[in-house]
Structure 1
Amino acid sequence: MAVDRLVARREVPLREKTLWRVLYETCARAEEILGVNIENLDLAARRCPVKAKGARSKARRRGQAREDFVLETVYWDADTARLLPRLIKGRTRGPVFVTHRRPGPGKVVSPRDVCPDTGLARLSYGQARALLDEHTAVRGTGTGWDLHEYRHSGLTALGVQGASLLMLMAKSRHKKPENVRRYFKPSPEAISELTGLLVPGGSSR
């Protein structure tokens, strides 16, 4: 509910609304989402590939770019599907999330990190973190939410609603069960129903 209220605030710009909703629905790391380009989006299927944390390089053939990595897929739902087309309207290439200013004359930026249509640079993690803090801080700068909380909140919500540990691992792309177990919080009703399976014929006895 807190995420919904924040995204619904009128003074929050479209870029921030979209980023926060994407982070919550994909349960992805902020660095992964900020690194996505428009040409990577599959808007119809509500998914896109990301370069995950610790991504290993693909086996390179002669002439293949060093930047090739094994990618992983993240998925979003209806609210993100509604916001993304509005955010990238008129753009077909380059970073999904960009700054409102072009890079200064003395700043060297990789061509991949600049929108070829507008010249705007990719939004950095530091900038995104500062923007979130600006809209959520209640006791001064640095007291607001952290970008990683969207990943935690999304996984916790799924765990509370009964998602299995294996499904949470598939969603979050964690490799070790112990790293995602804290989000696995089955309801008392779910545990009671599971307990009934121990009795022949279910819980009717």
Structure 2
Amino acid sequence: MVHPVEYAVAVERRLEAAGLSEGSRRIYRIALVSWAWPIVGRTTPTGAARRKASPPVVPLNLLDDPACAARLRDACAERAAVTDPRTLNRELSILRGALRWWREQGWITTDPLAGAEPLPSAPVAAPARLSEDEIRAVLALRAPLREQALWHLLHDTGAPIERVLALNIANLDLDRRRGRADRPELRWGPRTGRLLSLLLLSRTAGPVFLTDRRAPAGTPATDRCPLTGRARLSYRRAAEVFTDATRSLDPSGSGWTLRQLRAG
């Protein structure tokens, strides 16, 4: 196998050799590409900026630069402040696996993550629930219909975010504004009902909340809209959108989290 000179090429070689499903390959690629910025001492973009940004061209031999380890440690510290430990540990695990494979191929000789420990997984204190005034400001934001419906539904029901994102159209009784056969039962108000009806106009099956793009090949049928071909919205993407949208409302400028929006 020809020795690649660019990090991006080495990433693709790693993915080809890993024997992953299309969905897993996409997740691994996103994680590995996100480390390109820290390797050259830059901050990884987040939210909408990340989707539009082109990763820097990274010579693969930078991973053998003694300064690379320090840059990655700094990046981990920065990301730990805004990312939950499970997500960051998963992305670090993906990078560790790639580094190990590249060393086995003889493409790099060192491990810039040597000595870096996983973040503790113990739960941290939950952020304070938003005040009623803050919630009113969030729900008054000029946001796309999908976000308005999701935020109103989360606030009205107080249900776990994962449960709401897992809803299919068949799970909803729109006329009675409640979930079907749910335990505990989901109920929502008139405004949320109107938003859901508009969101689901012309759709009769599939996930309630969808991504903006068509689902990648290999996406299970249960996570794909049969009409539009789009995929079920992920927690990660929903959380990114919410935090980006609320930066202007948060006095700290960091943006709030979806968990702060839930009722109760």
Q: Could you state the TM-score of these two structures normalised by the residue count of structure 1?
A: 0.59
Partner of 1:150: 261
- Is 1:129 aligned with 2:239? yes
The C-alpha deviation readout for 1:155-199, integer Å capped at 9, x for no partner, is 1xxxxxxxxxxxxxxxxxxxxxxxxxxxxxxxxxxxxxxxxxxxx
Give, as a single letter, the amino acid of the residue that structure 2 aligns with 1:43: L
Residues of 2 paired with 1:84 and 1:24: CA distance?
14
Partner of 2:140: 8
Give, as a single letter, the amino acid of the residue that structure 1 aligns with 2:203: R
Residues of 1 paired with 2:151 and 2:177: CA distance?
16
Q: How does 1:5-154 map to 2 (within 5 A)?
A: 5-10=137-142, 12-49=143-180, 71-105=183-217, 108-138=218-248, 143-151=254-262, 154=263
Note closer, same or farther for the CA distance 1:123–1:8 as it changes in structure 2 (3 Å cut).
same
TM-superposed deviation, 1:7:
2.3
The C-alpha deviation readout for 1:72-103, integer Å capped at 9, x for no partner, is 32111111111110001110000010011012
Q: Could you state the TM-score of these two structures normalised by the residue count of structure 2?
A: 0.46
Residues of 2 paired with 1:73 and 1:133: CA distance?
28
* Number of matched pairs: 131
TM-superposed deviation, 1:50:
8.0
- For structure 2, list consecutive stretches of 5 or more residues without a partner in the other structure: 1-132
TM-superposed deviation, 1:49:
4.5
Residues of 2 paired with 1:99 and 1:33: CA distance?
15
Instruction: Judge conservation of contact 1:49–1:72 (CA < 8 Å) in 2.
Output: no
After superposition, the CA RMSD in angstroms is 2.3
In percent, how many aligned pairs have the same letter? 41
Partner of 2:117: none
SS in 1 for 2:173: coil
Partner of 2:122: none
TM-superposed deviation, 1:145:
1.2
Note closer, same or farther for the CA distance 1:18–1:113 as it changes in structure 2 (3 Å cut).
same
